[in-house]
Structure formats: C-alpha cells, structure tokens
Amino acid sequence: MVVSALFACAAMFLVQPLTYAGSAGKGNLTGFIYAKDKSTPVEGAVVMLKNIATGAIVESAKSDASGAFMMAGLDRGMYVFGVTSPRGEFESEAVLGIAANETAKLAVALIPNAEVDPKAEDAPQISGEKWVGKIISYDEATKIARVYMNNNLIKKDQDFHIKGDKDKYKSETDFWQKAKILQENGLDVKKAVAARYYTILLEKPALVNDFLYIKKSRGLFLFLLPGGLAAVMAGTTALIITTVDPPEDASAFKK
C-alpha cells in the first residue's frame, strides 16, 4: 500500500507519559489514534502488534473518546502493527521497537487507501497479493517495461505478478516472474522502492497500465486487504524503521 509508512505531522503531539506497574524487563506502549485529518480522535480502535521474532499477536483495549490507548507488559522486541476500528482495518509498513522497562509513545492517523495514493483505487484487489506499481511504458522489441512504484517495494530476484485489468484496459496479461534485471536511471539496483520510476526486463509481453503485485507476507503483515494506512505521526517516541527489513543492530530490542 504505500510508499513509506511514515507521514510526519507539522506540529509535535505532546503525549503525557503514563506509569505502569508492569513486570520487570517488559515494555509499554501508549498513544493516540486519529482520523485522516490528524486531529479528530478515533474512539473504539484496537491497536494490534505482531512480534517479528515470535509471530505472537497482542491487542490493546479499545481507544477511549480522546483516541487514547495503552498496552502494558510487552515483550521487548521488534513489532509490526495495525489498527482495527469502526472505520475499517489499517496497516502500517513501519516496524517499531519496544525496549525493556520503557514506555514508548505512538500516534497514528488512519488514512483510507484511496487517499494514501489517489491511483490506488485503479488497481483491482487480488486476495493474498499487494499492489505495488504500474507499467507506464513498454517496449515490445526489448521487453523492457518502465514502471512507477506506487507503494511498498520489489527486491531483485523477488517473484512478482503482472496482471492486466480486463474490464478497464482490455488487458489479458497475467503472469508471474522474478525481478532478474532491475534498474533505476540505467543503473542496476537491489530493490525498487515507492514513488520512483524503474525499468524491469519482462519475460512475457505486457501492456501499458498493467499492474504489479507481490505476495502478501503473512509473516509480517496483519491484514490481507487493509482498508488504509496507519500513518505514524510526530510525537511518536517508539523506535520506527521505515522498512520491513530488520535493522542490522537491534540488540536493545532482541530477547
């Protein structure tokens, strides 16, 4: 779904620290859930954390009328997170760290998919897959496609799906392949990230406006088809990493 999972707010949110009588060696998380305008509190939202190392999922109680939530007694480690609310399911592609004996703060805004990227509504949803980009030009002679990455990323040698929209663009394209040749501005790169243009050598013919998908990883993400982005806001003090790749040195957050 995005590009980067971090949306910075111009003004810093001041979150009052909470004191917990939690177990020694455990961490805590507190914060606020807001609507897309980054100011309207969302009541009844549940924050879900998934421990990358263990796969364990923990949930907060529902947020109150001010959008506040809190979670105590968390194992230290690296987590992906999402939010379920009366407005739908929202997922972040950021990774946050919980340290022992510390209370981290997290403020998020729930932004519907179509407003994260207006082009998102053009891509047909495929169960178990995540839309990442679109072909904007294609050379039949060389089979080289120029693509725009709308969100997430594709790594070199990763499997990806090229799928046409039969109804809107009259395209029958439908095949999987590995990203064997991936370039940006004529230079080989190891991964294609959001909001940039890349060239990819395709193994089969494709058409302009065909879409690129990758498999949705159940190992990290919480929802197969989230309704939007849980965008991290200013005022967050939890360690935030803008990629699903674990950091090289996260010893403070390892068990």
Q: List, for residues 112-132, the tens digit of each pLDDT value.
A: 876 665 555 568 888 878 888
Please determine, for residue 37, whether its predicted confidence score (pLDDT) is greater than 50: yes
Of residues 253 and 92, more confidence is placed in 92
> What pLDDT was estimated at residue 217?
62
Q: What is the pTM of this model?
A: 0.56
Average pLDDT over residues 149-166: 86
Domains of the chain: 27-114+219-245 (2.60.40.10), 129-215 (2.40.30.10)
Outline where DSSP puts E strands in the chain.
27-34, 46-51, 57-59, 68-74, 77-85, 88-98, 103-112, 129-139, 144-149, 153-155, 159-163, 174-178, 182-184, 187-188, 191-193, 197-201, 211-215, 228-232, 239-241
Question: Are the CB atoms for 75 and 23 separated by under 8 Å?
Answer: no
Question: Are the CB atoms for 90 and 226 separated by under 8 Å?
Answer: yes
Of residues 221 and 37, more confidence is placed in 37
pLDDT in tens, 225-237: 667 777 777 777 7
Q: Quickly list DSSP for 43-110.
A: TT-EEEEEETTT--EEEPPPP-TT-EEEEEEEPSEEEEEEEEETTEEEEEEEEEEE-TT-EEEEEEEE
178: its two tokens: 């590995």
Question: Are the CB atoms for 102 and 109 separated by under 8 Å?
Answer: no
157: its two tokens: 């040698």
Distance CA(97)–CA(249), nearest Å, equals 12
Instruction: Assign 5 a pLDDT band (cuts: 50, 70, 90).
Output: very low
Please determine, for residue 239, whether its predicted confidence score (pLDDT) is greater than 50: yes
Percent of the chain with pLDDT over 90: 45
> What pLDDT was estimated at residue 133?
87
Query: HSE on the CB side for 31, CA within 13 Å?
Result: 25
Average pLDDT over residues 3-11: 31
pLDDT in tens, 177-205: 999 999 999 999 888 876 788 999 999 99
Please determine, for residue 242, whether its predicted confidence score (pLDDT) is greater than 70: no
